[in-house]
Every structure is written in structure tokens, then in C-alpha cells.
């Protein structure tokens, strides 16, 4: 199947041309997803609704279908992306759903745990072919990010992306979106005594952005605790897909748990959705995507 008109690629290509970033927000349940969609509609911003395969596994294809319904029926363009499908089980569940009639828009086929680029390519390539046959765009990671997030396994051993290898890697895998490692990591930087602005190699990000400009969108992972200026800088250097998790998730979870302890269930839910929406809106403004849809 052709990827022409693929929702994720369309949203990212417009963002790159317009020099703004796209919030790709991890969602863990239906009310988080509703909060993201509400915020995108209110801010008139495109967005990407992201799910980890573990969430799809836990809540099933029906939940994926729900996310597709709310995203695709929104008044603004919103794509549904599955993030970090790392092992065979996660890939089989996810890709299997697309093949059986629940075609989400894109997926990260993450073989960055492989020891060599050749092994990464060998693992990713057949999955990417199956995704493309089902009309699903694919993201790959070249190099390796350290750390972990809720729902992701913890990885050690940072490997920076080598721009000299990137062209062949993208060509051989056939993938559509590049997630590079430029010193970014999943989870907390501060907990390890690190400052994100000292870890991210922005020149490398610029090199990759220039290299793939207009052809392959680049995606930033590991954005916990980043100062606003670093988000703005990465967009200037060509990043269009910006993965965000705990920035919006943690205030949502806190609002929901506190609300449920003292309020009727629907009131607590509504408050939590609104907290989620407010946090997403902050990113639409920061990424300059508000008003673009």
C-alpha cells in the first residue's frame, strides 16, 4: 500500500516546512487521549497521539480503535502512533492489528538494542515491509538512547548516531522517520545529576536535520526536564516530531488521583482531562504549532 496521504507523514512534513514542532504525546488511558484531543482542537494545532505497545497489549485493539476514532474525527489533524515496539511480541501484536483492520498511522520499529547497525537493519526491515503493506509509516532509532520511561524497559549504553551511516541505514531499512541519539536519554536527567542542555549535541542534531531536510522527518525522544529554550532550538535545527511523556502525564495522574479521593468520579475525570489539556496546550504554544491546523 502506498504511504501517500499517510497522516503522520503529512503532519510532520507540513510542520517541517512551517518550521514548527509537533507534540507527540504518550497516552495511557482514554481520558488522557481525550485531554490531548481537546487541547489540540482548542489550540487549532495538529498533534500525534502516542501509545506504547504495552498499553495496546493491556487494553486491546478496542482501545486502539477508540484512539483512532477520537483522533481521526477531531476537527484538527491528529495521527495515532505506536512508540517503541521493541520485541517480537509487541511488534506482532501491533502490526497484526493493522493487518486485521485497525490501521494506525505510524509505528516505531525499535531495534536499537541490536549490537550492530547491520543487526538493527536485519531485525527492522521485515517489520517495516509489513507495516508499509498495511499503509503504516515507520520510525527507526539509529544509535541508542539510555534510560527508561513508564512502560519501556531500561536501556544502558548510549550510542550516538553517526551521520555518515544514517543515509545507508534509512535506505536499507526503508523507514520513514529517524529517531537519532544525540545524547538525549529517556527518563530523568536531574536524578543522575545531569543537565539536558549539557547532554544534547545540538550540532549533531543540526547535521542530521540538514542531511534529511524535506525527505525524512527527525524525532526527538527523551524530553523530560528540558528547558523551553532547548525545545525551541531543536525545532530550529529541523526536528518536527517531539515525543513528550511525563510533562503532561504526571500532572494528569496527580489530578486524577487527588480528585478521585475527594470528588464524584465524573468530576474528578473532567478535572483531570482539563489538566491534561492545559499541559498539552502549553506545548502547542511552545512548539509554535498552535493555530496551524
In the complex, which residues of this chain contact Zn ion (CB under 5 A)? 221
Cβ distance to Zn ion smaller for residue 245 or 289: 245
Cβ distance to Zn ion smaller for residue 221 or 237: 221
Cβ proximity of 173 and 192 under 8 Å: no
Cβ distance to Zn ion smaller for residue 230 or 255: 230
**Residues in contact with 11: Cβ distance below 8 Å, sequence separation at least 6, in sequence order:** 22, 46, 47, 48, 77, 79
Cβ distance to Zn ion smaller for residue 157 or 214: 157
CB-nearest residue to Zn ion: 221
Q: Determine the Cα–Cα distance for residues 80 and 58; give it in Å rounded to an integer.
A: 17
Q: Determine the Cα–Cα distance for residues 150 and 187; give it in Å rounded to an integer.
A: 9
Q: Is 195 helix (H, G, I), strand (E, B) or coil?
A: coil
Active site residue 115: no
Q: How far is the CB of 224 from Zn ion (least distance, A)?
A: 10
Exposure string of 264-287, with b = 16+ CB inside 10 Å and e = fewer, is eeeebbebbbebbbbbbbbbbebb
Q: How far is the CB of 245 from Zn ion (least distance, A)?
A: 8
Cβ proximity of 240 and 22 under 8 Å: yes
Identify the active-site residue in 83, 105, 117, 176: 83
Cβ distance to Zn ion smaller for residue 130 or 221: 221
Q: How far is the CB of 123 from Zn ion (least distance, A)?
A: 17
Q: How far is the CB of 222 from Zn ion (least distance, A)?
A: 6
Q: How far is the CB of 186 from Zn ion (least distance, A)?
A: 6
Q: How far is CA 129 from CA 123, 178, 207, in A?
A: 11, 16, 28
Q: How far is CA 91 from CA 60, 68, 202, 255, in A?
A: 14, 18, 31, 33
**Residues in contact with 152: Cβ distance below 8 Å, sequence separation at least 6, in sequence order:** 52, 84, 186
Q: Which residues are catalytic?
A: 83
Amino acid at each position: 500500500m502506498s504511504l501517500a496521504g499517510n497522516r503522520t507523514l503529512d503532519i510532520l512534513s507540513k510542520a517541517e516546512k512551517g518550521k514548527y514542532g509537533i507534540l507527540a504525546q504518550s497516552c495511557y488511558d482514554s481520558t488522557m487521549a481525550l485531554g490531548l484531543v481537546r487541547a489540540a482542537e482548542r489550540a487549532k494545532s495538529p498533534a500525534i497521539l502516542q501509545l506504547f505497545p504495552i498499553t495496546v497489549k493491556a487494553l486491546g485493539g478496542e482501545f486502539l480503535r477508540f484512539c483512532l476514532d477520537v483522533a481521526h474525527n477531531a476537527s484538527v489533524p491528529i495521527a495515532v502512533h505506536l512508540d517503541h515496539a521493541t520485541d517480537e511480541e509487541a511488534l506482532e501484536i501491533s502490526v497484526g492489528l493493522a493487518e486485521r483492520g485497525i490501521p494506525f498511522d505510524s509505528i516505531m520499529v525499535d531495534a536499537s538494542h541490536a549490537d550492530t547497525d547491520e543487526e538493527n537493519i536485519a531485525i527492522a526491515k521485515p517489520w517495516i515491509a509489513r507495516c508499509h503493506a498495511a499503509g503504516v509509516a515507520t520510525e527507526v532509532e539509529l544509535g541508542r538512547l539510555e534510560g527508561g520511561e513508564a512502560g519501556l524497559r531500561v536501556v544502558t549504553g548510549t550510542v550516538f548516531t553517526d551521520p555518515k551511516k544514517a543515509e545507508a541505514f534509512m535506505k536499507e531499512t526503508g523507514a520513514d522517520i529517524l529517531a537519532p541519539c544525540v545524547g538525549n536519554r529517556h527518563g530523568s536527567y536531574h536524578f543522575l545529576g545531569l543537565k539536558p542542555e549539557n547532554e544534547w549535541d545540538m550540532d549533531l542534531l543540526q547535521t542530521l536535520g540538514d542531511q534529511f531536510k524535506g525527505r525524512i522527518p527527525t524525532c526527538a525522544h527523551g524530553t523530560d526536564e528540558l528547558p523551553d529554550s532547548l525545545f525551541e532550538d531543536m525545532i530550529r535545527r529541523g526536528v518536527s516530531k517531539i515525543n513528550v511523556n511525563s510533562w503532561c502525564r504526571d500532572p494528569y495522574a496527580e489530578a486524577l488521583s487527588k480528585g478521585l479521593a475527594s470528588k464524584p468520579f465524573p468530576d474528578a475525570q473532567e478535572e483531570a482531562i482539563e489538566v491534561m489539556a492545559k499541559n498539552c496546550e502549553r506545548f502547542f504554544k511552545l512548539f509554535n504549532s498552535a493555530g496551524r491546523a
